[in-house]
Structure 1
Amino acid sequence: MERDHANRSRPVAFNLSKFDDWKVRKQAHLSAIYDEMWDLISGGPIVVMMVNTQKAAQGADPETMIPKPKSQHTSDEKTRANLDNVARDILFKSLDDSLFQKVRKCTTAKQIWDTLMSLGERDEQEKDNKLTVSMKKFEDFKMMPNEAITDIELRFRKLMGDLSDLRKEPTEKEKNLKIL
């Protein structure tokens, strides 16, 4: 279990023009640090629970759970409970000053992530505009003068990735298209 969060590679900066790439990289980065890191981004901070012994002693449902006091946390529970702080720090460090101002009052990593997702994904009209531009690039796609096969393949894969990110399913013709 990796616990050294300070010695990580430099954070990937949030960039609206490359939002989809940032999102994938940040998800992978957070998940790689600790298995449960992505769970708290999607579901909120981890709360360590324990059986409510007072309820159990009164004959009530012994499975009634309550938050465990921090003073009783084991070392592993302290690490898990602190993951939200680690995730917040990682997300904050990926933002420039103007974007930080938009999330600085967020109290959980989930709130930060949700705010960044709404900024990055924007409204459907902008997504439709991006799709239109990408489709036009696809329709006009051709080999440039003096372009190597590897370069054209790279350009084509990027274009197909952009279309995929916009959730446009390729047609059968696009799926069968091969670059020679």
Structure 2
Amino acid sequence: MEHDHGHRSKPRVFSLSKFDDWRVRMYAHLSAIQDEMWDVIIDGPITVMMVNANAAAQGADPEQLIPKPKEQLTTEERTQANLDNVARDILYKSLDESLFPRVRKCTTAWDIWNTLMEIGEGDEQEKENKLTMAMKRFGDFKMTPNETISQMEIRFTKLLGEISDLGKEPTIKEINLKILRGLPKS
């Protein structure tokens, strides 16, 4: 297991205009540091548990597992229990001064991530508006003057990714028709 968190690359700065790319890159960044890092983002901090040796003396329906005291944690367990702190640090460092105050009081990486998702994705009305705008651009898509086919393909692929990130998947037929209609007439 990798324990040297000091030699990781700096995460990308959170950007609303490139939110979907930031989200994918942050997932890759956190997962590359340690597999369980993403679990902390999705499920919350890891609590190392131990068998409750006093369960029998505690009467009816005692907890069978209890959090292991910090002083009894092994080095590996301490690393695992510290993943939330590492993830919070990485997420904080990806924010500029205007966004940090919005997550400053979040107590876990899970809280920070969810807050950033709300900021980046917006509410349901904002998501619907973004999808409507993206679908309009899809409907109007065509090759621009002086644009190469490669440049058009890059622009089209980015638009498809944006539409997909908003929860819609154009059919292969729609995509093929759009590409054919988007090319200049010979």
Q: Is TM-score (shorter-chain normalized) higher than 0.5?
A: yes
Aligned amino acid, residue 19 of structure 1: F
2:49 pairs with 1:42: no
Query: Could you report, residue by residue, the CA deviation over 1:90-127 in whole angstroms, capped at 9, with x for unpaired residues?
Result: 00000011211011111111111111111111112212
TM superposition shift of 1:52: 1.1
Greater CA deviation, 80-89 or 133-142?
133-142
2:103 pairs with 1:103: yes
SS class of match (1:24): helix
SS class of match (1:66): strand
SS class of match (1:23): helix
2:165 pairs with 1:169: no
TM superposition shift of 1:171: 3.3
Using a 3 Å threshold, how does the CA distance of structure 1 residues 104 and 70 change in structure 2: closer, same or farther?
A: same
TM superposition shift of 1:145: 2.0
State whether residues 53 and 62 of structure 1, in contact with CA within 8 Å, keep that contact through their aligned partners in structure 2.
no
TM superposition shift of 1:57: 7.1
TM-score by length of 2: 0.88
Residue 120 of structure 1: aligned partner: 120
SS class of match (1:36): helix
SS class of match (2:170): coil
Looking at structure 2, the residues matched to 160 and 109 of structure 1 have their Cα atoms a distance apart, in angstroms, of 30
Greater CA deviation, 126-135 or 89-98?
126-135
SS class of match (1:170): coil
Query: Could you report, residue by residue, the CA deviation over 1:9-50 in whole angstroms, capped at 9, with x for unpaired residues?
Result: 121111112211111111121111111111111111101111
TM superposition shift of 1:60: 8.1
Aligned amino acid, residue 106 of structure 1: C
Using a 3 Å threshold, how does the CA distance of structure 1 residues 61 and 163 change in structure 2: closer, same or farther?
A: same
Looking at structure 1, the residues matched to 159 and 43 of structure 2 have their Cα atoms a distance apart, in angstroms, of 33
Residue 55 of structure 2: aligned partner: 55
Query: Could you report, residue by residue, the CA deviation over 1:112-166 in whole angstroms, capped at 9, with x for unpaired residues?
Result: 1111111111112212221222122112211122222211111110111111111
Greater CA deviation, 120-129 or 91-100?
120-129
Looking at structure 1, the residues matched to 172 and 152 of structure 2 have their Cα atoms a distance apart, in angstroms, of 21
1:154-165 matches, within 5 Å, as 154-165=154-165
Residue 88 of structure 1: aligned partner: 88
The unaligned stretches of length 5 or more in structure 2 are none
Aligned amino acid, residue 132 of structure 1: T
The unaligned stretches of length 5 or more in structure 1 are none
SS class of match (1:37): helix
Aligned amino acid, residue 115 of structure 1: T
RMSD: 2.1
Aligned residues: 180
